Amino acid sequence: NAGVTQTPKFQVLKTGQSMTLQCAQDMNHEYMSWYRQDPGMGLRLIHYSVGAGITDQGEVPNGYNVSRSTTEDFPLRLLSAAPSQTSVYFCASSPTDRAGHSPLHFGNGTRLTVT
Amino acid sequence: LAKTTQPISMDSYEGQEVNITCSHNNIATNDYITWYQQFPSQGPRFIIQGYKTKVTNEVASLFIPADRKSSTLSLPRVSLSDTAVYYCLVVANTNAGKSTFGDGTTLTVKP
């Protein structure tokens, strides 16, 4: 199993450009989520999904869209990039949304710079 | 979800036992305590999770007192490769994915 795969690893955008960060998992996990991590800080939840066709907002959703058309994929779209969105983005998945059985499995991140 | 408080940083030496304490005064009855480890340029990795008393696995132990207002992650005999950031999370039994990561504890292990 590859686990959680994120592409690209690095990306540079100009202000106002849009792009999609890809996330795929091959573990048949129901739950998937996106976090951003700014330098020296913890992770903040952007959006999450408890199953195909279901998404919800996290702590910092503004400027981002998500969709979950399949169990495997959970892309994150930046609508109009801003320098404040410069960060490292992590995708995570877990088998279910029940704490006792569901540690999060993380990808290795996408480092995004917006100039 | 309960807010957590951890020390910002800790130093240790190879071979020592390291204990990192996390405060979570507002933990709810059905919440679990979960710890993750993060190396530079990598995503966090699950270490251990518990509800009460003591949990042990091959890498760490988690001690949770009866009032559950704090927890202690214990790393036995650390090595240089244990240098990382450690996050304590309080996770709701349902909707667990809305876990909130604090700023974590940066552990530096010295030779």
Three-state secondary-structure class, residue A43: strand
A38 touches B: beta carbon within 8 Å: no
Question: How far is residue A100's CA from residue B8's CA, in Å, rounded to a whole number?
Answer: 27
Which band of pLDDT confidence, cut at 50, 70 and 90, is reported for residue B1?
Answer: low
A67 touches B: beta carbon within 8 Å: no
Test mutation, B57, B95, B106, chain A, max A CBs within 10 A: B95
Q: How far is A6 from chain B, CA to nearest CA, in Å?
A: 11
Q: A with B: how many residue pairs have Cβ under 8 Å apart? A: 73
Q: How far is CA A39 from CA A88, A107, B18, B61, in A?
A: 8, 18, 25, 29
A23 touches B: beta carbon within 8 Å: no
Three-state secondary-structure class, residue B110: strand
For the stretch A50-59, pLDDT in tens is 999 999 999 8
Is residue A112 over pLDDT 80? yes
CB nearest B44 (choices: A44, A58, A106)? A106
Nearest residue to A11 (alpha-carbon basis) of A64, A72, A63, A85:
A85
Single-letter amino acid, residue B75:
L
CB nearest A42 (choices: B93, B98, B103)? B103
For the stretch A18-45, pLDDT in tens is 999 999 999 999 999 999 999 888 899 9
